[in-house]
Amino acid sequence: MTDVRLRTGGIVLAGGLSSRMGRCKALLEIAGSSALDQVLSSMRQAHVEDLVVVSGFHRKEIEKEATGGGVRTVFNDRFEEGMLSSVKTGVRALSDDLEAFFLLPVDIPLVRPATLREMKKSFSSNLGLEAVFPAFLGQRGHPPLIRGDLIPGILRWEGPMGLRGFLEQHEASSLTLDTPDEGTVMEMDTFEEYQELRSLAIRRNVPTERECLAFWEILSTPQEVREHSRVVGEVAVRLANLVRDTDHVDPELLKAAALLHDMARTLGHHADVAADMLELWGFAETADLVRYHMELPEDEPLLSGRSLLYLADKLTSGNRVVDLRQRRKLIEKRFSSDPDALAAALVRLQRARTIANSFEKASGTKLEATLAYRN
């Protein structure tokens, strides 16, 4: 079975009272669209074929929003009994030929399409699985992907803890998939949580610091590489802030790329491996910076994000900031017995010097003075 052939459904649970929020959570605005639209968009991008929205207390508003987007709705007339009643209403409405289905509350609206796609791949490649759960930094999140033939058991279930209690009966045949997706564990029960979600949504193309940590954990990035990357990030942001008026470089994006540029350092062709992984998870701009942190294109602008990351990396040895003269001495010592490697390293160092000269001219600041804040 392959991911392409896996026929999946998606149930969006939107039947609650939203009592703690005080208004219909499904219709709250997030990055220019409703929370419900955010969920449905992610499902569609992950090629989830059969989508069903379960309404309840806010029936009219939710059904209007869902049907306007071309999605089927079903009303849970027992919504006051809790989420399990909406789960049962939703699974009854699914098509009979589904192999698996996602189950996602509408108040967890920022799950990445890549997370859903990777869950489908894991489900397809592991025979006998009954459920796949996403996890972020060791915490299980939403949505579960559940095998279709568990639906009769769900409909019969009257045990404790609702659906969670039912799925615990199938733990031995379940898989937890580690992801760098903070959206899997962020919900909005309160106005404060809603505000946090809105802040995350408008910068969803850049990994958060916690998502950077998750990438490190998934790739088992060594501690010394993490420390090196943090210093590279500090230097890169410092450079970017000093030339911000001259060139349009996003310091937040640059910092994320610096944190992740060496995340696959223990693997061959680590820059490409890291960049490919970032692209897979929807971080294309970060991937672009990471891919070129070792070798810049010949025509790369001297004050681009790529160039500043390249320079910051050359100015960092281990977890220590060095100037380019010190860097040359380190290179000469390291490659003293390999003339070809030494020559190539010195060419890269000269490229860094050219970028540094351009930085000094644009910022009106000597590079040594810029680095002094850490020494």
| Widest pairwise Cα distance in the chain | 78
How far CA 130 is from CA of 98, 104, 127, 161, in Å, comes to 13, 17, 9, 19
Token reading at 367: 């590079």
Contacts 24+ apart (CB under 8 A), 195-199: 197/30, 197/109, 197/110, 198/29, 198/30, 198/31
Residue in the structure block whose two tokens are 């680590």: 270
| Domains of the chain (ranges, CATH numbers) | 8-201 (3.90.550.10), 209-374 (1.10.3210)
Please give the Cα distance from 234 to 360 (Å, whole number). 18
Residue 135 dihedral angles phi and psi, to the nearest 5°: -135, 150
Please give the Cα distance from 179 to 152 (Å, whole number). 30
**3 state DSSP class of 181:** coil
Which amino acid is present at 345? Answer: A
Report the alpha-carbon angle 164-166-168, nearest 5: 70
Give the pLDDT confidence score for residue 277 in this predicted structure: 98
CA atoms within 13 A on the CB side of 283: 29
Please give the Cα distance from 366 to 360 (Å, whole number). 5
Q: What is the pLDDT of residues 50-100, one digit of tens each?
A: 999 999 998 999 999 998 888 999 999 998 888 999 999 999 999 999 999
Q: Provide the sign of the torsion angle of the four alpha carbons 333, 339, 342, 343, taken in this order.
A: positive
DSSP classification of residue 295: S
Please give the Cα distance from 93 to 83 (Å, whole number). 16
Q: Provide the sign of the torsion angle of the four alpha carbons 109, 111, 117, 121, taken in this order.
A: negative
Give the pLDDT confidence score for residue 312 in this predicted structure: 96
Please give the Cα distance from 188 to 197 (Å, whole number). 7
How far CA 24 is from CA of 67, 158, 182, 190, 372, in Å, comes to 17, 28, 23, 12, 52
Token reading at 71: 């999605």
Ranges of residues in the chain with a pLDDT under 70 are 1-5, 19, 244-247, 373-375
Q: From its phi and psi, is residue 145 left (phi > 0), alpha (psi between -120 and 50) or beta?
A: beta
Token reading at 27: 């219709």
Please give the Cα distance from 226 to 248 (Å, whole number). 27
Of 26, 28, 24, nearest to 40 (Cα)?
A: 26
Give the pLDDT confidence score for residue 237 in this predicted structure: 94
Give the pLDDT confidence score for residue 302 in this predicted structure: 92
Q: Which residues pair with 146 in a beta bridge?
A: 101, 131
How far CA 197 is from CA of 100, 102, 141, 142, 193, in Å, comes to 28, 21, 15, 15, 6
Asked if 219 and 180 count as a contact pair (C-beta separation under 8 A), the reply is no
Query: Cα 335 vs. chain centroid, distance in angstroms?
Result: 38
Please give the Cα distance from 272 to 268 (Å, whole number). 9
Query: What is the chain's Cα-based Rg?
Result: 25
